[in-house]
């Protein structure tokens, strides 16, 4: 008898709770259809209860998001005019006080529970999704792979040098996007070239290191705010290390092709000679162009006895080589690990760079 | 009844909050205590959420216990089903938290979002299960009033401890801590010192 009673008790409580939860979910968890209005566009309808970012992606509005909607990158900032609900504790760390006041939210955290009106940068509306085929791939160092993604014939991607794309990483649970800078030049608009460093257990990098020629890869883009000053007399200074080479390679090759008189610098830092990227190519380029100067520096030269170039951290090379000049049109593009960028930013400021002219792309 | 008699509601409340503090004397609920005590605001949010859920689930579990489980219960009086305590208490806690989440998200989104991220953590918070298990300790022989006071006191004790911890950690941000002890190391040491301080009260008020 006691066994029966035990089973009855347990089942009764389990079933009772389950029924209660099902009813509660039916009653309270259903938001009906909601309208989403983006800028001045015609509103579209979505099933309520979902995340704003996902709804936007489903309707081909690809605002940047590097972490795949986990609220850890802070890229998907969106101005919510109406119907966003209260600010969440998960968003607060990513928003300045001013942004919190003017209604900026993280689209990946906002749940659509009623009609909602948002404002996104107009340029985001031109971001598209591309299905590309993997072309040539090459290992550049032990862990950095150069990958060419060819668009379908006739398709074009318009971007500025220094921008990036987001590659869709197929994942069992949900679609995840990872951001990679474009290394190719805008003139070559039928493909994008990426440099990907393999991060152990990294979702995006393991995927992109495993794709083979002919595989299909989906990405969205282009993203990124950097606008190159195209005038021929303003100086461009690129400082970076590792896969930070990608956007700099796009910028410098673009300058070499379209604006060969423009003064520019490439500072590239690595630990050892194994980690140098495109050294020969840029040396050859600098020889042809009188105003392009390059500097590769090793921080652990004692391991490479044959090295004849600069040594030390890359910001030390910047301090040594770069002239002081307070010209307001001078631009700097930094891309590399955070510590390197921090040091480089300080050095550049000492050299007369205005903070707003230093663009940093951290990874 | 004098409110200061040993085993009276007021003393049970004080004992649950201070001398038998669920965190600092029984070391239950340590994972959330360490993870959420980085800043005061979230610590307080967690504390309030735990207090509320502890109180409500203790009430529910008390009803289930007296109604079904204990020998001489209302429905199955002749059977002693107390060996199902763990399973059923966990079920009730999980179900309640889930229900609370659904209701709060709909009707009080502001409150939901300030507590919301802590609610799922609470489902597996051992402090809450602990309270439900301690309250049925036959040596204490709590009635309904005493149980509710004990649960409320325990929850508030958790809230107090986690807020104190957040305050101390806030101070420690400025301190020059040796590298190996930064983060978890110093937090656990501080927890130990706090537990010692709370032990000082032990002789003054006791649960039973």
d(CA A308, CA A311): 9
Residues A323 and A229: beta-carbon distance below 8 Å: no
Residues A351 and A278 reside in one and the same domain: yes
Tell me, yes or no, whether A15 lies in a domain.
Answer: no
Task: Give A48→chain B minimum CA distance, Å.
Answer: 12
CB-nearest to B76 from A5, A20, A87 is A5
Residues A246 and A205 reside in one and the same domain: no
Please provide the distance, in angstroms rounded to a whole number, between the alpha carbons at the two ends of chain B. Answer: 16
Residues A107 and A137 reside in one and the same domain: no
Residues A211 and A149 reside in one and the same domain: yes
Tell me, yes or no, whether A334 lies in a domain.
Answer: yes
d(CA B185, CA A65): 35
Tell me, yes or no, whether A346 lies in a domain.
Answer: yes
Residues A168 and A177: beta-carbon distance below 8 Å: yes
Q: Is B82 on the interface with A (CB under 8 A)?
A: no
Residues A319 and A272 reside in one and the same domain: yes
Q: Is A5 on the interface with B (CB under 8 A)?
A: yes
Give A182's DSSP letter. Answer: B
SS3 A313: coil
At residue B208, the pLDDT reads 61
List the structure tokens of A217.
């890869």
pLDDT band at B122 (very low <50, low <70, confident <90, very high): confident
Tell me, yes or no, whether B99 lies in a domain.
Answer: yes
Residues A243 and A218 reside in one and the same domain: no
Tell me, yes or no, whether B161 lies in a domain.
Answer: yes
B1 pLDDT higher than 60: no
**pLDDT tens digits, B27-75:** 898 888 888 888 888 888 888 888 999 999 999 999 999 988 888 888 8
Tell me, yes or no, whether B120 lies in a domain.
Answer: yes
Tell me, yes or no, whether B30 lies in a domain.
Answer: yes
CB-based contact B107 A28, cutoff 8 Å: yes
For chain A positions 52-111, those within 8 Å of chain B (CB to CB) are 85-90
Residues A205 and A145 reside in one and the same domain: yes
Chain A residue with CA closest to B61: the answer is A13
Residues A189 and A273 reside in one and the same domain: no
Q: How many domains does chain B have?
A: 1
Tell me, yes or no, whether A176 lies in a domain.
Answer: yes
Tell me, yes or no, whether A14 lies in a domain.
Answer: no
Q: Of A123, A157, A189, which residue constitutes the final position of a domain?
A: A123
Residues A263 and A309 reside in one and the same domain: yes
CB-based contact B64 A13, cutoff 8 Å: yes
**Exposure of A270 by Cβ count < 10 A (0-12 exposed, 13-18 middle, 19+ buried)?**
buried
Chain A residue with CA closest to B107: the answer is A28
Chain B residue with CA closest to A31: the answer is B106
B199 pLDDT higher than 60: yes
Tell me, yes or no, whether A163 lies in a domain.
Answer: yes
Give B18's DSSP letter. Answer: I
Q: How many CB pairs under 8 A join A and B?
A: 66
* Percentage with pLDDT > 90 across chain B: 28
CB-nearest to A89 from B88, B102, B117 is B117
Residues A273 and A158 reside in one and the same domain: no
For chain A positions 222-261, those within 8 Å of chain B (CB to CB) are none
Q: Of A179, A195, A223, which residue constitutes the final position of a domain?
A: A223
Tell me, yes or no, whether B163 lies in a domain.
Answer: yes
At residue A15, the pLDDT reads 94
Q: Helix axis angle, A338-350 relative to A314-321, nearest 10°?
A: 20
B141 pLDDT higher than 80: yes
Pairing of strands A164-169, A216-223: antiparallel
CATH number of the domain that residue A269 is part of = 3.40.50.80
Residues of A with CB below 8 A from B116's CB? 88
pTM: 0.60
Chain A residue with CA closest to B87: the answer is A10
Name the residue among A294, A339, A287 with its Cα closest to residue A313. A339
| Phi, then psi, of A362 in degrees rounded to 5 | -85, 155
Task: Give B99→chain A minimum CA distance, Å.
Answer: 6
Q: Is B44 on the interface with A (CB under 8 A)?
A: no
Residues B205 and B20: beta-carbon distance below 8 Å: no
Sole residue written with tokens 């509710």: B148
Tell me, yes or no, whether B149 lies in a domain.
Answer: yes
Chain A residue with CA closest to B91: the answer is A14
At residue B93, the pLDDT reads 92
Q: Is A20 on the interface with B (CB under 8 A)?
A: yes
Query: What share of residues in chain B are helix, strand, coil (percent, to 5)?
Result: 70, 0, 30
SS3 B3: coil
d(CA A300, CA A294): 19
CATH number of the domain that residue A182 is part of = 2.40.30.10
CB-based contact B91 A90, cutoff 8 Å: no
Residues of A with CB below 8 A from B109's CB? 85-86, 113
Chain B residue with CA closest to A16: the answer is B95
List the structure tokens of A232.
């021929």
Give B45's DSSP letter. Answer: H
Chain B residue with CA closest to A113: the answer is B106
Consecutive 10-residue averages of pLDDT for chain A (363 residues): 84 92 87 88 87 88 78 85 82 88 89 89 85 91 92 89 89 78 91 91 88 91 85 88 90 90 90 89 89 90 87 89 78 89 89 86 73
Q: Is A14 on the interface with B (CB under 8 A)?
A: yes
At residue B68, the pLDDT reads 85
Q: Of A67, A89, A123, which residue constitutes the final position of a domain?
A: A123
At residue A322, the pLDDT reads 83
Instruction: Pick from B113, B115, B116, B120 the residue to mutate for testing the A interface (most A CBs within 10 Å).
Output: B113
- The residue segments making up the domain with residue A38 are 33-123
Residues A211 and A276 reside in one and the same domain: no
Residues A93 and A132 reside in one and the same domain: no
A169 C-beta neighbours (distance < 10 Å), count: 19
d(CA B206, CA B21): 11
CB-based contact A86 B110, cutoff 8 Å: yes
CATH number of the domain that residue A92 is part of = 3.10.20.30
Q: How many domains does chain A have?
A: 3
CB-nearest to B95 from A9, A17, A88 is A17
List the structure tokens of A181.
């800078």
- The residue segments making up the domain with residue B26 are 15-199
Tell me, yes or no, whether A246 lies in a domain.
Answer: yes
Tell me, yes or no, whether A4 lies in a domain.
Answer: no
B115 pLDDT higher than 70: no
Strands laid side by side in the A44-47 sheet: A44-47, A33-38, A116-119, A77-82, A104-106
């Amino acid at each position: 008898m006691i066994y029966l009673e035990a089973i009855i008790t347990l089942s009764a409580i389990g079933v009772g709770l389950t029924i209660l939860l099902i009813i509660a979910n039916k009653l309270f968890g259903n938001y009906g259809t909601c309208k989403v209005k983006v800028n001045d566009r015609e509103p579209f309808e979505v099933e309520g209860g979902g995340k704003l970012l996902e709804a936007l992606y489903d309707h081909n509005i690809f605002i940047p998001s590097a972490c795949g909607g986990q609220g850890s990158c802070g890229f998907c900032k969106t101005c919510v005019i109406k119907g966003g609900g209260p600010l969440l504790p998960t968003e607060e760390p990513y928003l300045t006080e001013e942004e919190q006041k003017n209604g900026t939210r993280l689209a990946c955290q906002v749940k659509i529970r009623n009609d909602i009106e948002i404002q996104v940068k107009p340029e985001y509306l031109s971001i598209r999704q591309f299905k590309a085929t993997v072309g040539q791939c090459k290992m550049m160092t032990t862990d950095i792979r150069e990958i060419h993604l060819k668009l379908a014939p006739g398709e074009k991607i318009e971007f500025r040098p220094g921008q990036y794309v987001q590659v869709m990483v197929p994942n069992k649970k949900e679609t995840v996007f990872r951001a990679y800078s474009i290394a190719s030049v805008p003139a070559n608009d039928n493909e994008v070239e990426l440099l990907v460093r393999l991060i152990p257990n990294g979702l995006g990098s393991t995927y992109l290191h495993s794709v083979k020629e002919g595989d299909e890869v989906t990405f969205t883009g282009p993203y990124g705010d950097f606008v190159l000053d195209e005038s021929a007399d303003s100086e461009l200074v690129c400082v970076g290390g590792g896969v930070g080479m990608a956007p700099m390679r796009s910028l410098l090759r673009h300058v070499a092709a379209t604006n060969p008189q423009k003064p520019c610098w490439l500072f590239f830092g690595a630990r050892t000679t194994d980690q140098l990227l495109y050294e020969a190519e840029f040396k050859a380029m600098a020889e042809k162009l009188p105003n392009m100067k390059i500097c590769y520096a090793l921080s652990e030269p004692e391991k490479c006895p044959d090295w004849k170039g600069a040594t030390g951290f890359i910001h030390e090379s910047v301090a040594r080589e770069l002239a002081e000049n307070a010209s307001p049109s001078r631009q700097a593009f930094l891309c590399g690990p955070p510590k390197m960028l921090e040091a480089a930013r300080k050095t550049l400021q000492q050299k007369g760079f205005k903070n707003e002219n230093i663009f940093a792309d951290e990874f | 009844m004098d409110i200061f008699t040993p085993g009276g509601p007021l003393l049970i409340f004080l004992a649950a909050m201070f001398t038998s503090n669920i965190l600092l004397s029984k070391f239950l609920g340590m994972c959330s205590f360490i993870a959420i005590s980085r800043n005061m605001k979230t610590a307080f949010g967690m504390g309030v959420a735990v207090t509320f859920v502890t109180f409500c689930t203790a009430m529910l579990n008390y009803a289930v216990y007296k109604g079904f489980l204990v020998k001489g219960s209302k429905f199955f009086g002749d059977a002693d089903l107390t060996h199902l305590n763990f399973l059923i208490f966990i079920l009730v806690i999980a179900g309640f938290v889930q229900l609370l989440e659904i209701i709060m998200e709909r009707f009080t989104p502001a409150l939901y979002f300030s507590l919301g991220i802590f609610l799922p953590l609470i489902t597996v918070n051992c402090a809450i299960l602990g309270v439900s298990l301690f309250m049925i300790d036959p040596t204490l022989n709590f009635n309904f009033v005493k149980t509710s006071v004990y649960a409320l006191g325990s929850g508030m004790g958790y809230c107090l401890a986690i807020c104190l911890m957040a305050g101390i950690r806030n101070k420690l941000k400025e301190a020059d801590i040796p590298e190996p002890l930064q983060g978890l190391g110093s937090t656990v040491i501080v927890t130990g010192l706090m537990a010692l301080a709370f032990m000082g009260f032990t002789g003054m008020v006791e649960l039973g």
